[in-house]
């Protein structure tokens, strides 16, 4: 019992240490501006204010909406490309699938800044530089390889008998994929969608490269510019960070059980 209590205590302490920056971010966002430089600082906000959040809603709302659109677009494009590709690798078993899986794994190891420099020239020639479609396409290059690997691991575990039964009933390859495989892949779809959205939502490298001067920019650029223009207004800066963290937090809480099942899918074989 004492060992269990000690393990729990250590876990609580480590968790508190990791979450303290998040708490301090919320604390500063609610602190009165004239108390921000108080020494020692207040551990809890005294006479909390929502002035920082009011400024966020007026100044940062367009950036938040842009990030939301880019995130949803990235999710749609990723699932639309990764799910059929994974089905082909897992069940149709084309030649060279082992090499392709290796290439997908290598693609995730390439630093984003290197890819961003290549995207700049390509997007300029295509006419999608500083546009939302360009941002969606750039962010999808990170999430599609990950999505293919997750979908492949899950779809490999789907019994071939189900696909054979669908074929006997007259379903073609596409109908089998759409009516049998996709409904069974719910956990992996949620997992891939969540990570795709979070990557797009938190992206800064691609945003600062391929959408540097666009009219519609994501929240990461908004926070970066806000810090540069308001280096003394930490109340509003932290409020911006809190608001930008809310969608990711809500999604993680709602989808955690699906993510756990989706990530571990295919890890254990009967």
Residues 148, 205, single domain; the answer is yes
Span 41-93, pLDDT tens digits: 778 888 888 888 888 888 888 898 999 999 999 999 999 999 999 999 888 87
| 236 found inside a domain | yes
Q: Above 70 in pLDDT, residue 266?
A: no
- The crossing angle, in degrees rounded to 10, of helices 132-156 and 112-126 is 130
| 98 found inside a domain | yes
| 45 found inside a domain | yes
Q: Please give the structure tokens belonging to residue 260.
A: 């756990």
Ranges 80-94, 167-181, 194-208, 219-233: which has the least confidence: 219-233
| 145 found inside a domain | yes
Three-state SS sequence of 9-71: HHHHHHHHHHHHHHHHHHHHHHCCHHHCCCCCCCCCCCCCCCHHHHHHHHHCHHHHHHHHHHH
Residues 136, 238, single domain; the answer is yes
Residues 125, 206, single domain; the answer is yes
- Domain region containing 135: 51-264
Residues 69, 42, single domain; the answer is no
pLDDT above 90 covers a percentage of the chain that reads 21
Task: Kindly report the CATH number assigned to the domain that includes residue 221.
Answer: 1.10.3720.10
* Domain tally, the chain: 2
pLDDT mean over 189-211? 90
Residues 151, 30, single domain; the answer is no
| 142 found inside a domain | yes
| 193 found inside a domain | yes
Q: Please give the structure tokens belonging to residue 164.
A: 């054979």
Model's pTM, two decimal places?
Answer: 0.83
* pLDDT value of residue 270: 41
| 36 found inside a domain | yes
| 270 found inside a domain | no
Are 89 and 152 in contact, with CB atoms under 8 Å apart?
yes
Are 108 and 142 in contact, with CB atoms under 8 Å apart?
yes
């Amino acid at each position: 019992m004492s060992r269990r209590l000690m393990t729990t205590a250590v876990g609580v302490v480590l968790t508190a240490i990791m979450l303290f920056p998040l708490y301090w971010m919320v604390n500063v966002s609610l602190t009165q501006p004239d108390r921000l430089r108080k020494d020692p600082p207040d551990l809890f906000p005294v006479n909390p204010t929502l002035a920082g959040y009011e400024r966020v809603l007026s100044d940062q709302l367009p950036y938040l909406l842009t990030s939301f659109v880019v995130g949803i677009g990235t999710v749609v494009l990723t699932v639309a490309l990764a799910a059929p590709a994974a089905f082909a690798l897992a069940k149709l078993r084309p030649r060279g699938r082992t090499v392709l899986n290796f290439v997908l794994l290598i693609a995730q190891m390439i630093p984003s800044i290197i890819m961003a420099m290549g995207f700049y020239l390509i997007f300029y020639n295509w006419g999608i530089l500083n546009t939302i479609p360009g941002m969606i396409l750039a962010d999808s290059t990170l999430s599609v390889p990950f999505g293919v690997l997750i979908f492949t691991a899950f779809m490999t575990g789907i019994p071939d008998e189900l696909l054979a039964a669908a074929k006997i009933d007259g379903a073609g390859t596409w109908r089998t994929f759409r009516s049998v495989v996709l409904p069974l892949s719910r956990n992996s779809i949620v997992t891939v969608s969540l990570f795709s959205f979070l990557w797009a939502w938190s992206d800064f490298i691609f945003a600062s490269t391929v959408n540097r001067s666009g009219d519609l920019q994501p929240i990461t650029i908004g926070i970066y510019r806000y810090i540069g223009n308001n280096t003394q207004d930490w109340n509003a800066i932290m409020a911006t960070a809190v608001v930008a963290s809310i969608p990711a937090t809500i999604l993680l809480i709602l989808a955690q059980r699906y993510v756990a099942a989706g990530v571990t899918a295919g890890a254990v074989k009967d």
